[in-house]
Amino acid sequence: MYESEELKLFQELLLKLGVTLTLAVVLFGVYFFMARKRAKKVPPSVFAIFISTLVLYILLVLNESDLIEFVDLWPEPYRWLKFVAYLGTAFFLLKAMDLLFLEDYLVVKKGLYVPDLMRMLIVITGLAVAVLISLRLVMGINVVALVAIPTAATAVIGFALQDTLKRFFAGLMLGKLVRVGHWVCLAGKEGRVVKVDLGHVTIHTQDDDLVMIPNNLVAQQEILNYNKPTTKHARTACVEAAYDVSPMTVEAVLVEAAKAVPDVLHDPSPQAFVQAYKDSSILYRLKFWINDYAKAQDTEGRVLSYVWYAFKRHGIEIPFPQRTIHVTKAEDAAQRSAKELDRLLEALRKIDFLSVLAPEEMSKVADEAKTQIYLPGEAVVHQGEPGTEFFFILEGEAEVRVGADGHTEVVATLHALQFFGEMSLLTGESRSATVVARTRLEVLMLGKKTLARPILENPLLAERMGDVLAQRKTNLAEQHDRLQQRGHPTRESRAEARSLGTRIKDFFGVAAG
C-alpha cells in the first residue's frame, strides 16, 4: 500500500515536471521562432532569464511534492521564489505579445508604425502591473501603500531625472516623425536614422560616421525628413552657358541630359530655367527628382557629368570668366594629329558603302568626320525622327529599341566596329529605331554635307553606294528568309534594293543623266 502511494506521487511529480518543461519549451520556442523570423538575435540576458525561471518552476514543483521531503523550503523563501517565477513568466508573455501582436501583426501585416520606444513602454508597463499583482496575490503586500511615496522624495527624484524624462517623452513624440531607415537632417546633421532609443536618436552620416543626438535637443529644433510625405526628393544643379546659344536650346539639352541619368525620375520630369544673366554667361538652374536620397550626391554629380558631355556634343560652351584672358582657336581639320586621322581612316575603311571612295576622297571625309561621346542611357537617335547623320561605333555598346503602341523592346545590341543610320544619311529616311548608349559610347559621325561634295563631283558614286547597300540588304533578306524557311527574297524586295542608287541621287540633288 505504501509503495503504490509512493508510485502515485512519483507519477504526479513527473507529470507536473513534464507539463512545466513542455510549456516552457513552447513559450521559448514561439519567442525564438518569431525572433528568427524577424532576423533578430535572442539576447543572452533573455536566455538567462528563461533558464532561471525554468529552474525556479522546477524547484516550486519539487517543493509542492510530498515525495521529496529534503527539498522542502521555508514559507518565506518559497513565496519569493514564486514571486520571481511569476515575473519571469510575465516577461516572456509580454515579449511574445510584442513580437506576435505588435511587430508581426500591427507593424508588418497591417502596416502601422509602432515606435520602438512605445513597444518598450508597453513591456515595462506590463511588468509593472505584473509586479503589483504578484505582490498582492503571492506576497500579501498592500500595493496601495507603495503608491503613497512621500511628496518630498517624489519631487527630489523628479528633479534629478528631469532631463531623462524629457528625452524619454521627446523620444515618444519623435516616433511619429522619424523612423529607423529614414534620411533626415537633425540638429544640423544629415544622415540615415539607425536607432531611436530612450534618450537619443542615432544617425549614420554620408561620411560613414555615427552621431547620437539627445531626443530633447532634436525635439526643440527643425526636423527635416527626406522620406516624408514621399520618398521623392528634388535636387538642383546650376550650370552656366554662353550667350550665343538660345536659352530654349540650352534648357532642352539640360532636360534631355538629366533624363538619361539612371536614378533621375521621369515623373515628375526634370525642369530647366534661366537663373540669372551674369557677366560672361547665362546661369541655368536644372531641377530633377530622385527616389533614393542615399544616392543624392552621386546622382547630382552624375547629372553634371552628363551635362558636360551633352554640351560638348551640341557645341554649347561653358565660358571662362571675362576677367580671365582665355585665347581659343577653332580646331582645324588640317591640324589634327596624324594618329587621330589614321584612327578615323581605319574606321572609315571598315564601312562597306564607303569603300567606293578614292583614297583622297576618303581622307577628306575623315577630315570632316566628328567623334562624339554618349553616356549610358543617352539616346543617340530616336525612332521616327528625321536625320541625315550616320554613326560608326568606335568604342562601347548600344541598344537598338523599337517601339509601337507605347511599348518599347530591345531588338539588338551593337558593338564596336558596327554602324547605324546609313539609310538616313544616304536617302533621308526617318529613323527606324531608337539607339541608346548601353555603356560609355564613342561614335564617329558623318553628316550629309560630308558626302555631298564627292557625290556631286562624281554621280557614279551614288550608284556604286546603292549597289553595296542593295547587296547587303539582299544578303540580310536571304539570311532572314533562310531562318524563316521561306526560300529566297521576293522580286519586290530585290527591286526595292536596286532602286537605292536613284534614291541617293535624288536625296543629294544629283541631276538625272
Task: Supply the CATH number for residue 241's domain.
Answer: 3.30.70.100
Q: Which of 298, 315, 319, 297 is nearest to 239 (CA)?
A: 319
The band of 144, judged by pLDDT with boundaries at 50, 70 and 90, is low
- 481 and 389, same structural domain? yes
- Ranking 1-10, 241-250, 310-319, 376-385 by mean pLDDT, the lowest is 1-10
Q: What is the mean pLDDT of the chain?
A: 76
- 449 and 388, same structural domain? yes
Task: Tell me the residue range of the domain where 491 lies.
Answer: 339-508
- Ranking 60-64, 161-165, 189-193, 212-216 by mean pLDDT, the lowest is 161-165
The CA-to-CA distance between both ends of the chain, in Å, stands at 134
Q: Is residue 5 part of a domain?
A: no
According to the 3-state scheme, what is the secondary structure of 329-371?
A: CCCCHHHCCHHHHHHHHHHHCCCHHHCCCCHHHHHHHHHHCEE
Q: Which of 105, 117, 95, 101 is nearest to 47 (CA)?
A: 95
Average pLDDT in the 450-477 region?
70
- 384 and 488, same structural domain? yes
469: which 3 cell numbers?
A: 547597300
- Those residues with Cβ within 8 angstroms of residue 316's Cβ, 6 or more apart along the chain or in another chain: 241, 242, 245, 249, 250, 253, 310
Q: Is residue 456 part of a domain?
A: yes
- Ranking 6-10, 155-159, 195-199, 231-235 by mean pLDDT, the lowest is 155-159
- Ranking 134-143, 334-343, 411-420, 478-487 by mean pLDDT, the lowest is 478-487
- 477 and 429, same structural domain? yes
Instruction: Give CA separation, 365 vs 85, 91, 416, 463, in Å.
Output: 93, 85, 20, 19
Under a CB-based contact definition with an 8 Å cutoff, are residues 414 and 370 in contact?
no
466: which 3 cell numbers?
A: 546603292
Domain end, chosen from 192, 225, 258, is at 225
Q: Is residue 438 part of a domain?
A: yes
> What pLDDT, on the 0 to 100 scale, is given for residue 333?
46
Q: Is residue 320 part of a domain?
A: no
The band of 250, judged by pLDDT with boundaries at 50, 70 and 90, is very high
Residue with cell 560613414: 208
> What pLDDT, on the 0 to 100 scale, is given for residue 512?
55
Burial class (CB in 10 A: 0-12, 13-18, 19+), 353: buried
Average pLDDT in the 439-448 region?
89
> What pLDDT, on the 0 to 100 scale, is given for residue 70?
45
The band of 68, judged by pLDDT with boundaries at 50, 70 and 90, is low
Q: Is the pTM of this model over 0.85?
A: no
Torsion sign (Cα): 371, 375, 378, 382 = positive
Q: Distance between CA atoms of 15 and 38, rounded to whole angstroms? A: 34
Average pLDDT in the 356-378 region?
86
Q: What residues form DSSP beta bridges with 283?
A: 240, 276
| pLDDT over 70, % of the chain | 64
- Ranking 50-59, 149-158, 243-252, 354-363 by mean pLDDT, the lowest is 149-158
DSSP state of 108: I
CATH value at residue 207? 2.30.30.60
> What pLDDT, on the 0 to 100 scale, is given for residue 368?
84
> What pLDDT, on the 0 to 100 scale, is given for residue 157?
46
- Ranking 194-203, 231-240, 466-475, 485-494 by mean pLDDT, the lowest is 485-494
Q: Distance between CA atoms of 355 and 147, rounded to whole angstroms? A: 101
Average pLDDT in the 397-405 region?
87
Q: Is residue 332 part of a domain?
A: no
Q: Distance between CA atoms of 182 and 188, rounded to whole angstroms? A: 16
- Ranking 71-85, 332-346, 362-376, 438-452 by mean pLDDT, the lowest is 71-85
CATH value at residue 504? 2.60.120.10
- 278 and 133, same structural domain? no
- 499 and 379, same structural domain? yes
State which of 424-428, 471-475, 483-487, 505-509 shows the largest mean pLDDT: 424-428
Instruction: Give CA separation, 44 vs 36, 37, 51, 81, 94, in Å.
Output: 15, 18, 11, 22, 17
- 461 and 421, same structural domain? yes
Q: Distance between CA atoms of 185 and 218, rounded to whole angstroms? A: 10
- 303 and 264, same structural domain? yes
422: which 3 cell numbers?
A: 546609313
DSSP-derived secondary structure for 253-303: HHHHHHHHSTTB-SSSPPEEEEEEE-SSSEEEEEEEEES-GGGHHHHHHHH
Q: Distance between CA atoms of 316 and 46, rounded to whole angstroms? A: 67
With a cut of 90, say whether residue 435 has pLDDT above it: yes
As a dihedral over the C-alpha atoms of residue 482, residue 485, residue 489, residue 492, rounded to 10 degrees, the angle is -150
- 142 and 64, same structural domain? yes
With a cut of 50, say whether residue 387 has pLDDT above it: yes
- 371 and 256, same structural domain? no
> What pLDDT, on the 0 to 100 scale, is given for residue 388?
81
13: which 3 cell numbers?
A: 511529480
Under a CB-based contact definition with an 8 Å cutoff, are residues 115 and 196 in contact?
yes
With a cut of 80, say whether residue 323 has pLDDT above it: no
Q: Which of 250, 256, 293 is nearest to 275 (CA)?
A: 250
- 218 and 180, same structural domain? yes
DSSP state of 257: H
Under a CB-based contact definition with an 8 Å cutoff, are residues 296 and 290 in contact?
yes
Instruction: Give CA separation, 152 vs 160, 175, 474, 505, in Å.
Output: 12, 33, 103, 106
DSSP state of 180: T
The band of 98, judged by pLDDT with boundaries at 50, 70 and 90, is confident
Structurally, the chain folds into a number of domains equal to: 4
Q: Is residue 89 part of a domain?
A: yes
C-alpha angle with apex 289: 285 to 293, nearest 5 degrees? 115
> What pLDDT, on the 0 to 100 scale, is given for residue 265?
94
With a cut of 50, say whether residue 21 has pLDDT above it: yes
Q: Is residue 389 part of a domain?
A: yes
470: which 3 cell numbers?
A: 542593295
150 against 419, higher pLDDT: 419
96: which 3 cell numbers?
A: 511574445
As a dihedral over the C-alpha atoms of residue 138, residue 140, residue 143, residue 149, rounded to 10 degrees, the angle is -120
Question: At 263, which amino acid appears?
Answer: D
Beta strands in 172-246 (DSSP E): 183-186, 189-196, 200-205, 210-214, 223-225, 233-241
Domain end, chosen from 161, 191, 225, is at 225
- 418 and 384, same structural domain? yes
For 28, phi then psi, to 5°, come to -70, -35
> What pLDDT, on the 0 to 100 scale, is given for residue 349?
83
The band of 303, judged by pLDDT with boundaries at 50, 70 and 90, is very high
State which of 15-19, 36-40, 358-362 shows the largest mean pLDDT: 358-362
Q: Is residue 11 part of a domain?
A: no
